[in-house]
C-alpha cells in the first residue's frame, strides 16, 4: 500500500488547503505585478540575479519576521522555532523543511506586494544564521554523502553525478563507490560559487539578496544565545522561552576538526574566503575553534 493511501484525513485536508492557497497566491501575484510596479521590480530583480527567494526565505507576517535560510547553519532549529511561533508545536524534525507541515510562508505565498512592504519595513526583523565554513562542510558531507553509493536515486547524489564530469571525471561514481570527505571538499570547492546546491554554496552569496538588508546575523555555534534576538523581537517572555526552543542534531560525525589536513583546510579557505572574511571566522584551525556552545554537535 502506498504512503499516499495511508494519509490521514487531516493530512489530506492540509494538502488541499495548501493547493488552494497556492492558486490564490498565483492570482494575487498576477494582480500585484500589474498594480504595484515597485514590488514587481523588487521581486523580479531577485529572480534575475539568480536567487531563489521562495526556496530560501521563510516569512511570518504576523510576527514581522523574515528568515533567510542558510542550510547546515542551524536551519532546522530555526525552522522548528518559527513553526512553534506559527502554532505548529509538534512538527517532526524530518518535516520541518516542508511548509505544508510548518505553515511557514514563502514571499510568493503572502503576495509580492505584502512581501515587499515587509522586506522594506523598519519594523521587520530580517535575520539569518551562519556557521564556520569548515564545520559546515563536514556537516553537509556527513548528512548528504557519507556512506551513500554514488548512483541515481538520491537528489544530492544526482547533483554530484551531473557535475562530476565538469569538475573532475576522476572523482568516484558507481554502486560500489562512496565519496570521501576529501573528495567532497574538492567537489564543493569547485562548485561553491556556481549555486549548484545551497548546502555548500557560499554563505555570503545566500545572504546577499538585493533589497533585503539583514538586521541580525546569528551564529550556529552560539545558537541559544543569539536566538534571543529573535525572541526579543517577537516578545516571548523569558519564562516561556525554553518551551519554544528545540534544537536538532541532524548530522552524525566526529568533531569537525578531525577531518582536516592542512591541505584540505587551505582548499576550503581559498574557496570560501568571502565567508571567512564577511562572517568573521578564523582561517586557522585550532582545538578552540572546534569547541562551541554546541560542543561537537551538528545542526
- The most confident of 236-245, 268-277, 279-288, by mean pLDDT: 268-277
Tell whether the model's pLDDT for residue 92 goes beyond 90: no
Does residue 26 register a pLDDT over 80? no
Strands 65-68 and 57-60: antiparallel
Provide the phi-psi class of 111: left if phi over 0, else alpha when psi is between -120 and 50, else beta.
left
0.75 exceeded by the pTM?
Answer: yes
DSSP code of residue 110: H
Q: Which of 15-24, 193-202, 262-271 has the lowest mean pLDDT?
A: 15-24
> Per-residue pLDDT averaged across 203-212, rounded?
96
Mean local confidence (pLDDT), 218-231:
95
pLDDT in tens, 129-164: 999 999 999 999 999 999 999 999 999 999 999 999
**Residue 22 confidence (pLDDT) above 70:** no
Q: pLDDT tens, 214-223?
A: 999 999 999 9
Q: Indicate whether 4 pLDDT > 60.
A: no
Spatial CB neighbours of 71, under 8 Å, sequence gap ≥ 6: 140, 198, 199
Give the number of other CB atoms < 10 A from CB of residue 79: 25
Q: What is the pLDDT of residue 138?
A: 97
Q: What is the pLDDT of residue 235?
A: 95
Q: For residues 180 and 259, what is the distance between their CA atoms, to the nearest angstrom?
A: 10
Residue 241, by phi and psi: left (phi above 0), alpha (psi -120 to 50) or beta?
alpha
Percentage of the chain exceeding pLDDT 90: 70
Sheet with 125-130, edge to edge strand ranges: 57-60, 65-68, 125-130, 216-219
More confident residue, 272 or 244: 272
Check residue 58 and report its DSSP letter: E
With 0-12 / 13-18 / 19 or more C-beta atoms within 10 angstroms meaning exposed / middle / buried, residue 135 is buried
Long-range contacts of 34-39 (CB under 8 A, 24+ apart): 35/113, 36/112, 36/113, 36/116, 38/116, 39/112, 39/113, 39/115, 39/116, 39/117
Average pLDDT over residues 81-86: 92
pLDDT of residue 142: 96
100-104, 181-185, 244-248, 254-258: range with lowest mean pLDDT: 244-248
DSSP E strand boundaries for the chain: 57-60, 65-68, 125-130, 216-219
| CA 249 to chain centroid | 15
> For 101-105, 116-120, 223-227, which range has the lowest pLDDT when averaged over its residues?
101-105
Query: What nine digits make up the cell of 216?
Result: 541580525
Of 18-22, 227-231, 244-248, least confident by mean pLDDT is 18-22
What are the tens digits of pLDDT across the range 276-297?
A: 999 999 999 876 555 443 333 3
Confidence grade of residue 18 (pLDDT, cut at 50, 70, 90): low
Q: Please, which pLDDT band fits residue 91 given cuts at 50, 70 and 90?
A: confident
Question: Does residue 165 surpass a pLDDT of 70?
Answer: yes
Residues 138 and 134: their CA atoms lie apart, in Å, by 7
Average pLDDT over residues 20-38: 66
**Which whole number is the average pLDDT over 174-183?**
98
Closest CA to 177 of 151, 138, 208: 151
Amino acid at each position: 500500500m502506498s504512503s499516499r493511501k495511508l494519509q490521514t484525513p487531516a493530512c489530506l485536508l492540509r494538502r488541499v488547503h495548501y493547493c488552494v492557497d497556492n492558486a490564490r497566491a498565483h492570482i494575487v501575484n498576477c494582480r500585484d505585478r500589474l498594480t504595484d510596479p515597485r514590488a514587481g521590480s523588487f521581486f523580479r530583480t531577485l529572480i534575475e540575479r539568480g536567487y531563489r527567494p521562495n526556496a530560501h526565505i521563510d516569512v511570518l507576517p504576523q510576527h514581522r519576521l523574515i528568515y533567510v535560510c542558510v542550510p547546515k547553519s542551524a536551519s532546522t532549529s530555526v525552522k522548528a522555532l518559527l513553526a512553534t511561533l506559527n502554532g505548529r508545536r509538534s512538527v517532526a524534525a524530518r518535516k520541518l523543511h516542508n511548509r505544508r507541515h510548518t505553515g511557514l510562508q514563502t514571499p510568493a505565498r503572502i503576495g509580492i506586494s505584502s512581501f515587499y512592504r515587509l522586506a522594506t519595513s523598519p519594523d521587520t526583523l530580517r535575520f539569518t544564521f551562519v556557521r564556520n565554513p569548515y564545520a559546515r562542510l563536514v556537516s553537509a558531507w556527513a548528512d548528504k554523502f557519507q556512506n551513500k553509493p554514488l548512483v541515481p536515486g538520491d537528489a544530492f547524489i544526482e547533483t554530484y553525478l551531473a557535475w562530476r564530469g565538469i569538475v573532475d571525471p576522476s572523482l568516484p561514481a558507481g554502486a560500489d563507490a562512496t565519496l570521501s570527505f576529501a573528495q567532497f571538499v574538492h567537489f564543493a570547492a569547485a562548485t561553491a560559487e556556481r549555486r549548484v546546491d545551497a548546502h555548500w554554496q557560499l554563505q555570503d552569496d545566500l545572504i546577499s539578496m538585493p533589497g533585503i538588508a539583514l538586521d541580525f546575523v546569528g551564529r550556529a555555534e552560539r545558537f541559544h544565545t543569539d536566538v534571543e534576538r529573535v525572541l526579543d523581537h517577537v516578545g516571548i517572555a523569558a519564562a516561556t522561552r525554553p518551551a519554544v526552543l528545540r534544537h536538532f542534531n541532524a548530522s552524525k560525525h566526529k568533531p569537525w576538526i578531525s577531518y582536516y589536513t592542512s591541505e584540505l583546510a587551505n582548499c576550503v579557505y581559498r574557496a570560501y574566503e568571502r565567508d571567512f572574511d564577511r562572517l568573521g571566522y578564523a582561517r586557522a584551525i585550532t582545538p578552540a575553534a572546534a569547541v562551541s556552545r554546541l560542543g561537537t554537535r551538528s545542526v
